[in-house]
Amino acid sequence: MRFCLVRAPLASLGATLLAACTSLIDDMRNDVEGTPTVMAEAQANQRLALVDGCLASVIGGQPLRAIMAAHVYAKETPPKDTGSPTAVAAWRLDSANTSYVLELPGAACSMSVMRGDPQQLYDAAVALLQTRGAFVQGMIDTAERGDAERTTWCTAGPYPYVAVLYKRTTGRRVAFLANVYKAQGASFSACRPNG
């Protein structure tokens, strides 16, 4: 009799845990990279980081630190926490989708979005670039040990603005990353298309 009394609460606890696990698994299924919720958040982070952050700083000449300090969703974080060996300042966007904006040496800027459909993020970034200048596609190659495709986009002129866009092709690395800077040399080979 005593065994049955103990067994009933354990069965109830087991049913509760099973229901909680099932709910968690359903939430995880609904939180995959291509779903509308994840993509909406990823593209909102991308717009804030790329347009309001990197492009406004590099092309617009606004200090990145001032731009990011004005955004309530950007929290300053130690650059080493981002994994970048060259960042001089870093901000993490207050989001479930890990996203960073990095200030790099030479008035350059980098931004990343961890989750989302890499192709959709890439296509959105190309459209966002065009809002700040006539960027033309340059060289395309592989990067990150074959886990990403790197495409260089440049403006015209002797010292072009350059945006190097990385979209993940395999693996679980960052879904999308962009580096934006002004070329230091008059002849920048990455701005020329492959071929």
Q: Are residues 73 and 1 in the same domain?
A: no
Q: What pTM was computed for the model?
A: 0.80
pLDDT at 36: 74
CA dist 127 and 15 (Å) reads 50
Going by the DSSP 8-state scheme, the letter that residue 97 receives in this structure is S
Smallest CA-to-CA distance from 67 within 56, 81, 58, 82 is with 56
Q: Are residues 180 and 123 in the same domain?
A: yes
Smallest CA-to-CA distance from 43 within 104, 128, 106, 162 is with 128
Mean pLDDT by 10 residues, the chain (195 residues): 42 42 39 68 93 96 96 93 94 92 96 94 96 94 89 91 95 91 81 82
Q: Are residues 59 and 7 in the same domain?
A: no
Q: Are residues 4 and 75 in the same domain?
A: no
pLDDT at 143: 86
Q: Are residues 84 and 13 in the same domain?
A: no
Q: Are residues 46 and 22 in the same domain?
A: no
Give the range of the structural domain holding residue 23, as residue numbers without chain letter: 1-30
What is the enclosing helix (H) or strand (E) of 179?
A: strand 176-182
Q: Are residues 73 and 6 in the same domain?
A: no
Going by the DSSP 8-state scheme, the letter that residue 107 receives in this structure is T
pLDDT at 190: 86
Domain count, the chain: 2
Q: Are residues 23 and 41 in the same domain?
A: no
Q: Are residues 21 and 38 in the same domain?
A: no
pLDDT at 110: 97
Amino acid at 183: A
Instruction: Spell out the long-range contacts of 71-74 with Cβ–Cβ below 8 A and sequence spacing 24 or more.
Output: 73/48, 74/48, 74/101
Question: DSSP per residue over 25-90, as a string?
Answer: HHHHHHT-TTSHHHHHHHHHHHIIIIIIIIIHHHTT---HHHHHHT-TTEEEE-GGGGT-SS-SEE
pLDDT at 66: 96
pLDDT at 23: 40
pLDDT at 34: 58
Q: Are residues 61 and 110 in the same domain?
A: yes
Smallest CA-to-CA distance from 88 within 97, 76, 75 is with 76
